[in-house]
Amino acid sequence: MTEETMNQSELSKEQLAERQREIHEYYTSQIPFLQTQKEYETLITELEELELRRMMARMRMAQIMAPAPDEDESEDEPKKPRSLKKN
């Protein structure tokens, strides 16, 4: 870098302090919006978790109410032994 460009890229103490103040003001002004967004995201997450719990409860109830796999087969029909196909 040449000496002229180095002087342009370096800030004086006053300019640096002003820049830091501007950055601080910007971040401070954004805090209410970020808090609102955090509250929104938290509520959405809680709603999704409740929906998932409700769905899981329905699945459990369906499994409880479903007949056992052995009950589906009729006791009246004797089971035939399976044989291999003959050519």
pLDDT, residue 22, reads 97
Determine if the pTM surpasses 0.85.
no
The amino acid that residue 1 corresponds to is M
pLDDT, residue 51, reads 98
* Residue 2, both tokens: 């040449």
The amino acid that residue 31 corresponds to is I
In contact, 19 and 11? CB cutoff 8 Å:
yes
Instruction: Tell me which residues of the chain have a pLDDT lower than 70.
Output: 1-9, 71-78
Sort 69 into a burial class: Cβ within 10 Å, 0-12 / 13-18 / 19+: exposed
Which residues touch 9 (CB under 8 Å, ≥6 apart)? 1
**What residue spans define the domains of the chain?**
13-66
